[in-house]
Amino acid sequence: MSAVKYRFADVDGFKVFYREAGSSDAPKLLLLHGFPSAGHMFRDLIPPLADKFHIVAPDLPGFGQSDMPARGKFTYTFDNIAGVIDRFTEVIGFDRFAIYVFDYGAPTGFRIAVRHPERITAIISQNGNAYEQGLSDGWNPIRTYWQDPSPKNREALRAFLSPEATRWQYTHGVADADAVSADGQNLDNFYLARPGADEVQLDLFGDYKSNVALYPSFQQYFRTHRPPFLAVWGKNDPFFLPPGAQAFKHDIPDAEVHFLDTGHFALETHAGEIAERIRDFLGRNTRA
């Protein structure tokens, strides 16, 4: 089993923290986390894959141990986050790679794929959405903010940043909440409690509408390039619904779609099964 290394990359002055495992000669796999987490969410996925793949899991800008510049120095949009991670892949020598996208990692990774389709060997989406039918009514308070970005509507979104909300995201739809470790969610809450982190996250809630606006572009990329595609989806996710997973097959008919009896953070309960599916899928489909 390959040891996990913990490193920082200087991305044109922006410090990006990342986890790395596996041989540099192995097929490359980029893991992109979501809200409100960081690369630590992959702690149970990396070890069973590291013997076959060169894995890198960065913390997105403003998350985890990567830099979180003041909002006056860095504008927190998904375009800017994707720009940093795109450049990060170049800095660390990831020229061709598969991507695993979850939640916020999806609009980040899909932007990179649209910009550089020749670099993407395969895509694994774990509750990483690209279709409006995948968005649940749980997005309604955020949609309200998109339509009217008033201080009142922004303030209403702070409920999503509470420790109770984080716990709920981890346990909703899980058969046995006691099977979900508190470690990951407690670390997420620590990062959310940092000075200024709340405003960063509220900015990103507002900018998420830019991702929905890009769904047609993402879908055009899927239709045009037909990357090998695996969706492994927690079917009880309160934010990203199963129709969002099924929709990938509209544009990539050969996409493989599997549903797991769990919630949003599927790796907390099904990391072993997801790892097995990835090993099989990439073993059959990764493009040289």
Of 74, 55, 59, 72, the residue nearest 5 (C-alpha): 55
CB–CB of 22/55 below 8 Å? Answer: yes
And the tokens for 107?
A: 């609009």
Please give the Cα distance from 96 to 61 (Å, whole number).
22
**∠ CA 33-39-40 to the nearest 5 degrees?**
125
The whole-number average pLDDT for the span 129-133 is 98
Q: What is the pLDDT of residue 288?
A: 44
Which pLDDT score is estimated for 286? 65
Residue 54 a catalytic site member: no
Question: 105-115 and 197-225 are packed helices; what angle lies between their axes, rounded to 10 degrees?
Answer: 50
> pLDDT for 86-130, tens place per residue?
999 999 999 999 999 999 999 999 999 999 999 999 999 999 999
Q: What is the 3-state secondary structure (H, E, C) of 90-127?
A: HHCCCCCEEEEECCCHHHHHHHHHHHCHHHEEEEEECC
Name the residue with tokens 């039918």.
133
The answer on pLDDT for 236 being more than 90 is: yes
Q: Which tens digits make up the pLDDT trace of 207-226?
A: 999 999 999 999 999 999 99
Q: Between the CA of residue 142 and those of 31, 60, 108, 138, 209, what are the distances in Å?
A: 26, 21, 19, 8, 9
Q: Give residue 284's pLDDT.
A: 87
Q: What sign does the CA torsion over 136, 140, 141, 142 have?
A: positive
For residue 31, pLDDT over 90 is answered with yes
Find the catalytic residue in 33, 54, 172, 264. 264
Rounded Cα distance, 41 and 265, in Å: 8
Dist. CA 235–CA 248, nearest whole Å: 15
